[in-house]
Structure 1
Amino acid sequence: MKIRIGTRKSKLALWQSEWVKAQIEKKFPDVEVELVKITTKGDKILDVPLAKIGDKGLFTKEIEEAMLRGEVDIAVHSLKDVPSKLPKGLKLIAFSDREDPRDALLSCGRYTLETLPEGAVVGTSSLRRKAQLRILRPDLQIKDLRGNVDTRIRKLKEGQYDAIILAAAGVKRLGWEEEIDEILSPERMIPSVCQGILGIEGREGDSEVERIVREAVNSYESEVAATVERAFLRTVEGGCQVPLGCYAVVNEDRILVRAFISDLNGRFYHKEEGVFRFKDLREADSIGVAVAERLLSAGGKTILEELLKCQ
């Protein structure tokens, strides 16, 4: 049997796909796994902030289309990049162990978030990070930052920024952990939905592929956390780009959830935190919906309405 993995060409995407390939081949030595490299819209548009493009399938659409055409069998995504609604005929079939879900500050060994000089230039294109940075350090200048992880670090070293914020997971997976100057705890900066989890997407009905991939890769704890966080995202999204974050920590039959929604400037910021009991994935989904509805009732709905007016 042969399984073809559709993957972007970036170093991180290739690392992620190679890792899944290795897990499958280790568990099922008779299965041949091939990587098929695909360029996505997000790889082509590098000079425009992601929020301005407004395409939720920026890094997934072309790979998903290849899956639906039967050219590849599965795709390996940073799950934080995957829209809450998948194309008809596709589904998430497995979830990796979660790498570090937190955000990392890199500054060439010079600063932490507290010690950055007043007015320092910090690079990120994430609306979520921008809003939380404006709360933590309103004096900072925040400039957009696009490109793959290695490109972003190069721009930092060239002096275009005093510091940049990246997902710790990607930096660590590429073996560049020594570049990190500070890890920002979830209590200070709530991570993106599913940050640190790899999501493997496949076709509905490909039961044998799904069985093989789940046995080789799937983490139930990550699946529960992803179910909570993606249910939150699905409920809040409202069809627009909005600063939000959700992070679920699973401990046996309990889930700690931290989530927030904000306007673009961080002036109106609403946060929810709580511990919930759950029995199965259906209850995990309900928890994500409930947390989202609490935030919407606390002012999040007004934020969404205002953001929609600006589009």
Structure 2
Amino acid sequence: MAPEAASTPSNAPTLRIGTRGSALALAQTRMVAAMIERTTGMSCELVTVRTEGDDLSIPLSAPPRPGAFAARLRDVLAEGAVDLAVHSFKDLPFAPAEGLRIVAVPPRAAARDALVSASGQGLDALPRGATVGTSSPRRAAALTRRRPDLQIVPIRGNVDTRLRKVRTGVVDAAVIAAAGLDRLGLGEQITELIDPNVLVPAPAQGALAVEMRADHPHADAVAELDDPGSRLRVVAERRVLAVVQATCTTAIGAYCQFSGSSLNLIADLTDHLDVEHAHVELCGALGRDHLLSASMLGEQAAKRLLGRA
């Protein structure tokens, strides 16, 4: 039986949620809004914000500020124009924003990358010299290691734009986050879920971050959306990001899973701080403070990537 929705008192506040205007961002934000309404009884209103990352004339390799997809959302949140913002967690810089906090990490979707190909062939079956679309340095580096013969073609735009480039033959295939396809109801477009040992997902890929002002009176209520397992994995992965001092163009992946009392973390780094390529796999026990254990494992992985441990 589905959980009963919380009743909404007549004087319950309405929370304004800042979101980007893409179909995926709106789908994710509506999902979070429904969770808030069901969990807290408060109503939600979506406020669309155009971010610097939405301007396709600005190269992601040289954004005016770190976290091009999140910076403007954080501005309007800090200014009080919205009560909370919903981010794709992988788009957030590793440094926290002053006066803001991530109050909830809802249950994480699939973290892996997906290949969408016009021919229906997987990564290893694509013909020699096939074109694969991605603007991610992480994806490009991993694909080139696996298949040096492939031609990597930079493509930007929303999910539908990238899928259309596959359908119309601009590229033979494209690599897109599986979570985005699933959240848009496009999971049937996936040709292959790529093994995370071949293409390590971006830190926090598939996870959402619900951010609020630290002093917001309803922050604790919205924090009820937090999924401890999802937050645990994200803490480990994003600690890797922080210790290597990654930028938005760093080819870095980190993927954490946990089972029982142990964490397993894969991390990968290419062409950063004199590291040509490094790949590590670690397992660590969860101590009394689970989040501290996750953070320490991420730090250990990062130091190994950099050759410092």
Measured in 2, the distance between the counterparts of 1:87 and 1:295 equals: 26
Say whether residues 1:210 and 2:219 are aligned partners. Answer: yes
Cα distance, 1:192–1:67 mapped onto 2, change above 3 Å? same
Measured in 2, the distance between the counterparts of 1:47 and 1:107 equals: 27
**TM-score computed with the length of structure 2 as normaliser:** 0.90
What is the Cα deviation at residue 238 of structure 1?
5.1
2:172 to 158, 162, 178: 162
Measured in 1, the distance between the counterparts of 2:249 and 2:298 equals: 19
Alpha carbons 1:130, 1:142 under 8 Å: kept: yes
Measured in 2, the distance between the counterparts of 1:293 and 1:256 equals: 16
Alpha carbons 2:83, 2:213 under 8 Å: kept: yes
Alpha carbons 2:268, 2:305 under 8 Å: kept: yes
Of stretches 237-246 and 272-281 in structure 1, the one that deviates more from structure 2 is 237-246
Corresponding residue for residue 278 of structure 2: 270
Alpha carbons 2:131, 2:171 under 8 Å: kept: yes
2:83 to 60, 73, 80: 73
Corresponding residue for residue 208 of structure 2: 198
The aligned amino acid for 2:28 is Q
Alpha carbons 2:113, 2:193 under 8 Å: kept: yes
Say whether residues 1:18 and 2:30 are aligned partners. Answer: yes
The aligned amino acid for 2:117 is S
Say whether residues 1:223 and 2:251 are aligned partners. Answer: no
Corresponding residue for residue 126 of structure 1: 136
Corresponding residue for residue 52 of structure 2: 41
Cα distance, 1:20–1:204 mapped onto 2, change above 3 Å? same
Measured in 2, the distance between the counterparts of 1:14 and 1:239 equals: 26
Measured in 1, the distance between the counterparts of 2:246 and 2:259 equals: 30
- Within-5 A mapping of 1:1-311: 1-29=13-41, 31-44=42-55, 46-47=56-57, 49-53=59-63, 55-206=65-216, 208-215=217-224, 217-237=225-245, 241-263=249-271, 268-279=276-287, 280-297=290-307
Secondary structure of 1:281's match?
Answer: helix
Secondary structure of 1:114's match?
Answer: helix
Q: Deviations over 1:154-175 (max 9, x none)?
A: 1211211000000000001100
Secondary structure of 2:95's match?
Answer: coil
Alpha carbons 1:125, 1:143 under 8 Å: kept: yes
Alpha carbons 1:229, 1:247 under 8 Å: kept: yes
Measured in 1, the distance between the counterparts of 2:159 and 2:257 equals: 26
What is the Cα deviation at residue 63 of structure 1?
0.9
Unaligned runs of 5+ in 2: 1-12
Alpha carbons 1:227, 1:285 under 8 Å: kept: yes
Alpha carbons 1:84, 1:233 under 8 Å: kept: yes
Alpha carbons 2:115, 2:190 under 8 Å: kept: yes
Measured in 2, the distance between the counterparts of 1:54 and 1:295 equals: 28
What is the Cα deviation at residue 34 of structure 1?
0.8
Alpha carbons 1:228, 1:286 under 8 Å: kept: yes
What is the Cα deviation at residue 116 of structure 1?
1.0
Q: Deviations over 1:56-108 (max 9, x none)?
A: 22001111110111010111111011110122111111101111110100013
Alpha carbons 1:225, 1:249 under 8 Å: kept: yes
Alpha carbons 1:49, 1:146 under 8 Å: kept: no
Unaligned runs of 5+ in 1: 300-311
What is the Cα deviation at residue 3 of structure 1?
1.1
Corresponding residue for residue 6 of structure 2: none
Measured in 1, the distance between the counterparts of 2:259 and 2:51 equals: 37
Cα distance, 1:268–1:85 mapped onto 2, change above 3 Å? same
Alpha carbons 1:95, 1:218 under 8 Å: kept: yes
Alpha carbons 2:67, 2:248 under 8 Å: kept: no
**TM-score computed with the length of structure 1 as normaliser:** 0.90
Of stretches 254-263 and 274-283 in structure 1, the one that deviates more from structure 2 is 274-283
Cα distance, 1:133–1:48 mapped onto 2, change above 3 Å? farther
Q: Deviations over 1:176-202 (max 9, x none)?
A: 011111110112211000001011111
